[in-house]
Structure 1
């Protein structure tokens, strides 16, 4: 179920939104180049944890405010991107990471729970949902028709 804008705004702190804006402004100054996290902390004068919260808030706010996508790469660090090929590659990498994380949850948590309670409706439901999400992410990360 989708969250309403008011629910998202309540969950996101105004401080995190300010950190996101500071990150956006810092990256605008160096665009099209990017900044790695250590440089981002120096330029914005935010702590590492504030950068992490600011980046999370940036990704939420970007869609609402029309800000450009903000992928990360080893070469450029965090940078604005409007190149479809680069964004697709970054999204596939993201989907692969999430698919791996969900596979770990399925194998490390749900499988043991299912062994303890093999007739549990909750475990069956949760396992089915997690397997569906993992399968979808795997299809995004590794499409068959390229």
Structure 2
């Protein structure tokens, strides 16, 4: 039987509640990771697990999302401009990851095995993902 995700465990949910309370108190400002560790009195591991659980819980309950920026840190309930900037940054980051994966792994594999059905399939799918992310990042 597969083990449930740590993010859905009771401990992670308790850590998520602690983090949500601390971020709510800090609003509209945010907290960087070390400030979050100190303010919650949790270990770095517990804060990471709690952030993951909190993001999942916020999405399932329709709460404002938690975002992270270099200048502000973790922030709860950011304004529209901050949310859009965060989304663009994440999409750009994922686009770069996909491009590196395509050029560094998939393209050499396709060159070595041009008639492989799996390679043709993954190239087509990843090109589609790359194109979609590129459209989102540039709009």
- TM category (shorter chain) comes to 0.7 to 0.9
| Paired position in structure 1 for 2:131 | 135
| Paired position in structure 2 for 1:4 | none
Question: How big is each residue's C-alpha offset from its partner over 1:96-138, in whole Å with a ceiling of 9 and x where there is no partner?
Answer: 0000011111111111211221111111111111111121111
CA contact under 8 A between 2:28 and 2:78: conserved in structure 1? no
CA RMSD in angstroms comes to 1.6
Q: Which runs of 5+ in 1 are unaligned?
A: 1-9
1:3-14 map, 5 Å:
10-11=4-5, 12-14=7-9
| 1:79 counterpart SS class | strand
| Paired position in structure 1 for 2:19 | 23
Task: Compute the displacement of 1:43 (Å).
Answer: 1.3
Structure 1 runs (4+) greater than 4 angstroms displaced: none
Aligned length: 134
Change over 3 Å in CA distance of 1:16–1:129 after alignment to 2: farther
| 2:76 counterpart SS class | coil
Question: Hey, what's the Cα distance between the residues in 2 that align with 1:50 and 1:115?
Answer: 44
- Residue among 98, 102, 108 paired with 2:104: 108
Q: Which runs of 5+ in 2 are unaligned?
A: none
TM-score, length basis structure 1: 0.82
TM-score, length basis structure 2: 0.86
- Residue among 43, 46, 62 paired with 2:42: 46
- 2:67 maps to 1:71: yes
CA contact under 8 A between 2:88 and 2:137: conserved in structure 1? yes
| 2:24 counterpart SS class | helix
Task: Compute the displacement of 1:82 (Å).
Answer: 4.2
Question: Hey, what's the Cα distance between the residues in 1 that align with 2:100 and 2:14?
Answer: 34
